[in-house]
Every structure is written in C-alpha cells, then in structure tokens.
C-alpha cells in the first residue's frame, strides 16, 4: 500500500467535476442490467448477513465465527483444510476463530479414522444450538424472499448464483465435489 504521505491542504484537493457527464457514451446493451446485479448482490449480502450480528455481538463473536459455524454445521467431520478452502483464508486467520469456538465449547475435534493426522470438526450440541439460533434470525427474511420469488424464481436464482461461482464451489454445492476443492 501507499505510505500515508501528508496530503495537501484542503482547498488544493478540490478538483472540478469532469466535463463529460458521468453516464458514459459508449456502453454495451446489457451494461445497465449487469450494474444492477452488482447492486443487488451487494445489498442482499449486506442485509442478509447483518441480521445475525446482534446475536453474535452478545456472545463476543464475529462474522468469521458465524461462517465457520455454518460450514462445520453443513459438513460434519470437515477437516481444517476443507474449511480453509471454503473460506479462502489463511491457517492463522482460521486458527484464531476455530480456537475460540473450541474453547467456548461450540466445536469439537476428533482425529480421523484412517488418517489420524486429520482433525474432523463437528459442532457440539451447544454449537448446533447456536448455529440454529443464528440461522433462525435469518430465516424469516429468507423465507419471505422465497415466497416473493416463487418456485420458478428460486430456480432462476439458484441457476444464476451457481453460474457465478468457481467450478469447485459449484461441485461442492452439487454434492459432487469435496470441500477441499471449493
């Protein structure tokens, strides 16, 4: 990143707005639609994730913890590498979150059966309860969105979202791939 070199005095940083009006002249047909999709994705993600924040804050947890809980809940017995691949973060970032969840009794670890190097992660009953509570907070919003879209709409939603993901994640969603490749 750039060093925080001291900026010039306020007045000097005032640049007049561009002469050309912002609506760009040469634009493809589908452009506006795609910009809209960006907006939709941003706002839906923003507002969907925020509803669980109250609960998380109560417990001194963050969204990173929620994500881990969610994916362990969805994949009982998932390995650390599997979780790393899904979350796309580093071992160290996950370690903090995972250690907190283990310490607080939400996540249990057990060595793998065949390969004893593996740590198979599962939710404890407390973990399941918490995940459930977090999910319930998002539930109504989701259910109502499903109703608004109808079965056909939901199908379209799924197709579009699937197509936006990387191949590995798509396979994971479909149940034909392992978390490690998501």
Partner DNA sequence: CGAAATAGGTCAGCAATATTGACTGATTTG
Partner DNA sequence: CAAATCAGTCAATATTGCTGACCTATTTCG
β-strand partners of 178 = none
DSSP 139-154: HHHHHHHHHHHHHHHH
The residue from 54, 90, 115, 163 that contacts a copy of itself (CB under 8 A) is 163
15-74 positions binding DNA, by CB under 7 A? 60-65
73-102 positions binding DNA, by CB under 7 A? 79-81, 87-93, 95-99
Minimum distance between the CB of residue 70 and a copy of itself, rounded to whole angstroms?
7
CA distance 173 to 167: 10
Q: Which stretch binds DNA (CB under 7 A): 44-52, 115-123, 134-142, 143-151?
A: 115-123
CB 109 within 8 A of CB 121: yes
Residue 10 interaction partner, one of DNA, a copy of itself, none, beta carbon < 5-8 Å per kind: DNA
Q: Is 7 in the site for DNA (CB under 7 A)?
A: yes
Minimum distance between the CB of residue 116 and a copy of itself, rounded to whole angstroms?
12
Residues 88, 93, 94, 100, CA torsion sign: negative
The residue from 58, 103, 115, 174 that contacts DNA (CB under 7 A) is 115
The closest of 72, 73, 101 to 84, measured between CA atoms, is 72
Closest to DNA by CB, 33 or 115: 115
Q: Is 83 in the site for a copy of itself (CB under 8 A)?
A: no
* Tokens linked to 59: 């417990």
Cα atoms found within 13 Å of the Cα of residue 95, Cβ hemisphere only: 3
Helices and strands of the chain, counted as H and E runs: 7, 2
Collapsing DSSP to helix, strand or coil, 176 comes out as coil
Minimum distance between the CB of residue 29 and a copy of itself, rounded to whole angstroms?
11
**Residues near DNA, by CB under 7 A:** 1, 7, 10, 60-65, 79-81, 87-93, 95-99, 109, 114-119
């Amino acid at each position: 990143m750039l060093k925080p070199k001291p900026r010039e005095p306020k007045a000097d940083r005032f640049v007049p707005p561009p002469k050309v009006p912002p609506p760009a002249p040469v634009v493809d047909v589908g452009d506006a639609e795609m910009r809209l999709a960006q907006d939709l994705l941003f706002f839906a993600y923003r507002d969907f994730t925020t509803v669980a924040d109250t609960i998380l804050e109560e417990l001194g947890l963050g969204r990173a913890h929620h994500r881990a809980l969610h994916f362990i809940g969805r994949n009982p017995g998932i390995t650390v590498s599997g979780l790393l691949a899904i979350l796309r973060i580093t071992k160290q970032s996950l370690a903090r979150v995972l250690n907190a969840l283990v310490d607080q009794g939400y996540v249990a670890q057990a060595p793998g059966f065949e390969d004893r190097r593996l740590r198979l992660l599962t939710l404890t009953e407390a973990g399941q309860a918490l995940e459930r509570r977090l999910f319930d907070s998002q539930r109504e919003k989701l259910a109502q969105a499903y109703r608004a879209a109808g079965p056909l709409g939901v199908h379209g939603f799924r197709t579009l979202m699937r197509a936006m993901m990387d191949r590995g994640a798509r396979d994971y969603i479909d149940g034909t791939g392992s978390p490690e490749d998501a």
